[in-house]
Amino acid sequence: MLKRLWIWLLFLCLKGGEVTMVTVCVSLIINGRRTFAQIPVSLQPDVKSDLEALGLGIDGKPLA
């Protein structure tokens, strides 16, 4: 799971040539450094969709 996450993050970073705020927010949630509620409202829909694409809930934990 962790390997898949890093490959996905690397792909996103290289695709645009820069790290996007959404990618940073997703990483912070997964690592437990931020909660979904702490993410700016304007970024929440994109962060939620990226987490779901990884098979994770908005808490950064795997979906059951």
Give the chain's domain count: 1
- Domain range for 35 is 2-53
Does residue 26 fall inside a structural domain?
yes
Per the model's pLDDT, the better-predicted residue between 7 and 33 turns out to be: 33
Does residue 28 fall inside a structural domain?
yes
- For the stretch 11-60, pLDDT in tens is 666 555 445 788 889 999 999 999 999 999 988 999 999 999 999 999 99
Does residue 35 fall inside a structural domain?
yes
User: Nearest Cα to 25, choosing from 3, 54, 1?
Assistant: 54
- Residue 13, SS3 per DSSP: helix
Burial class for 34, CB neighbours closer than 10 Å (0-12, 13-18, 19+): middle
Does residue 43 fall inside a structural domain?
yes
> What pLDDT score was predicted for residue 33?
94
Does residue 59 fall inside a structural domain?
no
Does residue 58 fall inside a structural domain?
no
pTM equals 0.72
Question: 2 pLDDT band (50/70/90 cuts)?
Answer: low
